[in-house]
């Protein structure tokens, strides 16, 4: 086997692309800082029971495990940073008011999410803790949209869902609660025959709730779906609040294209409790950004705080953009002449890229376009265009 081969769904990133990803990382972290978000950096590896607390089985399947040589306990290589940030808010910071945190780091998936996805992601995101109102969701979605716009994503489209609607229906009948996991899979797949079969097996299930579950797969499309939901779903307080929150959110963001899918309840790691969203755009086979509300994840760490946030993969974001442009650079000869060294230093301090050619060597560059050179003319070092 060739030593240079990488495992499946893992890839190197070459110079121009790597530079753009790094520039995106810096720009987005600065954006979040300008909104008052504080940067945290959780470890790549944690004890497995801490890493998976409150996150559900989906994340467990994506997490790579290993044995800690010091303690003998099982460790996990993180597959998602959100639970780690929840731990920091609940256990380490332990604040009483609103906390805004952002992060950026590598995550590893045991298996790719789909055939076109990588297993190694550079995940960046932002989270708001301590506010249960829809205002925090609006702020998070605004930042998610601004993130992709800063990257140059054309015409992003926002898809909204709310798993709380499905859970409110299930919670209204104990017979449904016993088959919740199977029902959620059928609803997410829009499998009405599967829903009917499960409800029939469950026994005496309220007929209006069965009708509601069968209605959910058809509640997708434009924002008018929310009005249809109010008319066709049971008048449960949790359902009415969920729909009104989504309407408020849409009204607060009038300049964006929205779609609604109330059966989209299976895209997260099973910890989402309120409004969930995904940002799509032409050029990406799947969502560019995912996020939503996940109240209570911090309960495993001693504090059940309201929380909402989003994350995206910078490598995936960059891959769908136009090829990364080359940066212009200046070529300079090698030498120890004080005047030459001073001229190069001044150019670099002014923000120029200066590449010194080593003696007897040519260079091959993927990231830079040499369009000027530093030459000695009339006893002075000066920049001239490359002919």
Q: Which of 196, 197, 143 is nearest to 35 (CA)?
A: 143
Is residue 332 within 8 A of residue 120, CB to CB? The reply is: no
pLDDT per residue as tens digits for the range 135-147: 999 999 999 999 9
Could you tell me if 75 and 172 lie in one domain?
A: no
The token duo for 155 is: 């015409």
The answer to whether 213 touches 191, Cβ cutoff 8 Å, is: no
32 and 136 co-located in one domain: yes
Q: What is the mean pLDDT of residues 189-206?
A: 90
pLDDT at residue 53, rounded to an integer? 75
Task: State how far the Cα of 259 lies from the Cα of 47, in Å rounded to an integer.
Answer: 39
pLDDT(15) > 50: yes
| Same domain as 285, residue 178 | no
Say if 362 falls within a structural domain.
yes
Question: What's the confidence (pLDDT) of residue 1?
Answer: 56
Q: 150 and 46 in one domain?
A: yes
Binding residues for L-histidine: 80-82, 123, 127
Domain identity same for 150 and 14: yes
Residue 216 has pLDDT above 60, yes or no: yes
Kindly state whether residues 245 and 192 are assigned to the same domain: yes
Element (H, E) at 108: strand 99-108
Lowest mean pLDDT among 47-51, 97-101, 381-385: 47-51
Residue 248 domain-assigned (yes or no): yes
What's the helix, strand, coil split of the chain in %, to 5?
40, 25, 40
Residue 324's pLDDT is what? 84
Is it the case that residue 231 has pLDDT exceeding 90?
yes
Say yes or no to pLDDT of 107 above 90: yes
The pair of three-digit structure tokens given for residue 345, joined into one six-digit string: 């230093």
Instruction: Please report which confidence band the pLDDT of residue 168 belongs to, taking 50, 70 and 90 as the band edges.
Output: very high
CATH number, domain of 309, equals 3.30.930.10
Q: Are residues 12 and 100 in the same domain?
A: yes
Percent of the chain topping pLDDT 90: 72
Residue 2 pLDDT class (50, 70, 90 cuts)? low
Tokens linked to 306? 């309201």
pLDDT bucket at 372, cuts 50 / 70 / 90: very high
Binding-site residues, in ranges, read 80-82, 123, 127
**What would the mean pLDDT of 319-343 be, rounded to a whole number?**
92
DSSP result, 234-273: ---HHHHHHHHHHHHHHHH-TTSEEEEETT---SS-S---
Does any domain span residue 276? no
- What local confidence, expressed as pLDDT, does residue 266 receive? 58
* pLDDT value at residue 323: 87
pLDDT at 301 over 90: no
Q: Is the pLDDT of residue 267 over 70?
A: no
pLDDT given at position 51: 87
Based on the fold, state whether residues 334 and 318 are members of the same structural domain.
no
Asked whether 58 and 265 are in contact (CB, 8 A), the reply is: no
Residue 302 or residue 307, greater confidence: 307
What pLDDT does residue 269 have?
Answer: 45
How many domains would you assign to the chain? 3
Query: Which residues form the domain of 257?
Result: 157-269
Which pLDDT belongs to residue 37? 98
What's the average model confidence in pLDDT over 260-287? 83
pLDDT tier at 299 (50, 70, 90 boundaries)?
A: confident
**pTM of the prediction?**
0.89
pLDDT digits (tens, 9 = 90+) for 112-165: 888 888 999 999 999 999 999 999 999 999 999 999 999 999 889 999 999 999
């Amino acid at each position: 086997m060739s030593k240079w081969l990488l495992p499946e769904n893992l890839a190197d990133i070459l110079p121009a692309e790597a530079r753009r990803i790094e520039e995106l990382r810096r720009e987005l972290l600065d954006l979040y800082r300008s909104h008052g978000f504080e940067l945290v950096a959780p470890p790549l590896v944690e004890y497995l029971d801490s890493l998976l607390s409150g996150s559900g089985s989906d994340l467990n399947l994506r997490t790579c495990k290993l044995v800690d040589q010091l303690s003998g306990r099982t460790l996990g290589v993180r597959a998602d940073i959100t639970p780690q940030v929840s731990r920091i808010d609940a256990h380490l910071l332990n604040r009483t008011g609103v906390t805004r945190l952002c992060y950026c780091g590598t995550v590893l998936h045991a298996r790719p999410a789909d055939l076109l996805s990588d297993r190694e992601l550079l995940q960046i995101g932002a989270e708001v803790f301590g506010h249960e109102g829809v205002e925090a969701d609006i702020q998070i979605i605004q930042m998610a949209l601004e993130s992709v716009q800063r990257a140059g994503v054309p015409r992003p489209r926002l898809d909204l869902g709310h798993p709380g609607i499905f859970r409110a229906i299930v919670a209204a009948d104990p017979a449904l609660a016993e088959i919740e996991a199977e029902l959620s899979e059928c609803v997410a797949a829009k499998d009405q025959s599967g829903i009917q079969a499960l409800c029939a097996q469950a026994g005496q299930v309220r007929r209006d709730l069965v009708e509601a579950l069968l209605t959910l797969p058809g509640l997708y499309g434009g924002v008018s779906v929310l009005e249809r939901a109010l008319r066709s779903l049971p008048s449960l307080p949790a359902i009415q609040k969920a729909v009104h929150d989504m309407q408020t959110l849409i009204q607060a963001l009038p300049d964006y294209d929205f779609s609604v899918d109330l059966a989209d309840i299976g895209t997260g790691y099973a910890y989402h409790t309120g409004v969930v969203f995904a940002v799509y755009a032409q050029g990406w086979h799947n969502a560019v950004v995912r996020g939503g509300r996940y109240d209570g994840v911090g309960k495993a760490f001693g504090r059940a705080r309201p929380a909402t946030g989003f994350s995206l993969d910078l490598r995936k974001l960059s891959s769908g953009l136009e090829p990364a442009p080359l940066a212009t650079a200046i070529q300079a000869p090698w030498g120890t002449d004080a005047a030459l060294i001073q001229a190069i230093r001044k150019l670099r301090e002014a923000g120029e890229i200066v590449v010194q050619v080593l003696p007897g060597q040519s260079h091959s560059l993927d990231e830079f376009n040499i369009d000027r050179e530093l030459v000695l003319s009339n006893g002075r070092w000066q920049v001239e265009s490359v002919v």
